[in-house]
Amino acid sequence: MANQRLIYGFHAVNARLWQNPKSITELYVQEGKHDTRTREVLEKAAAENVRVHFAAAERLNTISKGARHQGVVGFIDASKNHVHLEDVLENLREPALLLVLDGITDPHNLGACLRTADAMGVHAVIAPKDKSAGLNATVSKVACGAAETVPYITVTNLARTLRELKEYGIWVVGTDMGGEADLYHAKLPESIAWVMGNEGEGMRRLTREHCDMLVSVPMFGTVESMNVSVTAGMVLSETRRQRVLQSEQ
């Protein structure tokens, strides 16, 4: 199956079983395991009519290519994950909160960003199809289930997508050390799409040109940069903080 993708570990497998069980094509469970988490997986799989194979640990190691699978490995039909940006935007019940990742190629960083996005209630994560990590087993593992709950939308032309966001009344705000305002003094717009580039090169020139506003994250120590998922956590948390204060006024 062309769109088949591997997932492994209890977080990723459980999230898939609860969020989208019909996308699971096969599930492998280590034979002889009788702990609580394994029993819960088997019970949920049975309830959802998911096919389960019992296999030795050595076979699971081979299937997962040596990853730390915790005794559960599955294959999913990734095509059943596809979500259109328009579907997300037209069904929002609050001002948009989006995360745009420009050039994040490390699956660990992408997984951590998805986990952060889930925690902060991000409505969708957007990334270009080219020069991006893409969803894979490592991303699902690091995301601890968030890869199954946060819509991850890949687009062929990021600049065009940013223009479309503006047509929906969403401000495109980039993070940049040379931003005209710092995070703690910037009055953030009601509907916002935060844009982040990779640690090495930052946003691409065309992406930067499509930003309505550039915001810097203040640094008070000696390091010159932070992991993109940490920065995402900071800006998304500040966005939520400002929204809470606004709602209480």
The full set of domains in the chain, from first to last, is 4-77 (3.30.1330.30), 85-248 (3.40.1280.10)
Q: Could you give phi then psi for residue 179, rounded to 5 degrees?
A: -60, 150
Length of the chain: 249
User: What's the confidence (pLDDT) of residue 99?
Assistant: 98
- Consult the annotation and say whether 213 binds a ligand: no
* pTM, rounded to two decimals: 0.74
Q: What is the DSSP string of 163-198?
A: HHHHHTT-EEEEE-TT-SEETTT----SSEEEEEEB
Q: Does 197 appear as a known binding residue? A: yes
**Per-residue pLDDT reduced to its tens digit, 8-53:** 888 888 878 887 788 889 999 999 998 999 999 999 999 999 999 9
User: Is there a contact between 105 and 132 (Cβ–Cβ < 8 Å)?
Assistant: yes
The pLDDT assigned to 82 comes to: 60
* Residue 143: DSSP 8-state: H
Query: Taking a C-beta distance cutoff of 8 angstroms, is the pair 10, 72 a contact?
Result: yes
Nearest Cα to Cα of residue 242 among 179, 176, 173, 180? 173
151 touches 125 (CB < 8 A): yes
DSSP conformational letter for 125: E
Could you give the CA distance from residue 206 to residue 136 in angstroms, rounded to a whole number? 27
Separation CA 115–CA 72 (nearest Å): 20
- From residue 1, give the alpha-carbon distance in Å to each of 5, 42, 147, 166: 9, 24, 20, 37
How many angstroms separate the CA atoms of 49 and 198, rounded?
41
Tell me, what's the pLDDT at 1? Answer: 47
Taking alpha carbons only, the member of 204, 112, 122, 221 closest to residue 157 is 204
Each of the 249 residues of the chain gets a pLDDT tens digit; together they read: 456 788 888 888 887 888 778 888 999 999 999 899 999 999 999 999 999 999 999 999 999 888 889 999 999 886 665 667 887 888 788 999 999 999 899 999 999 999 999 999 999 999 998 888 888 888 888 887 777 788 899 999 999 999 999 999 999 999 988 888 899 999 999 999 999 998 778 899 999 999 999 999 988 888 877 889 999 999 999 999 999 988 887
Residue 79 has a pLDDT of 64
| Strand pairing report for 97-102 and 213-216 | unpaired
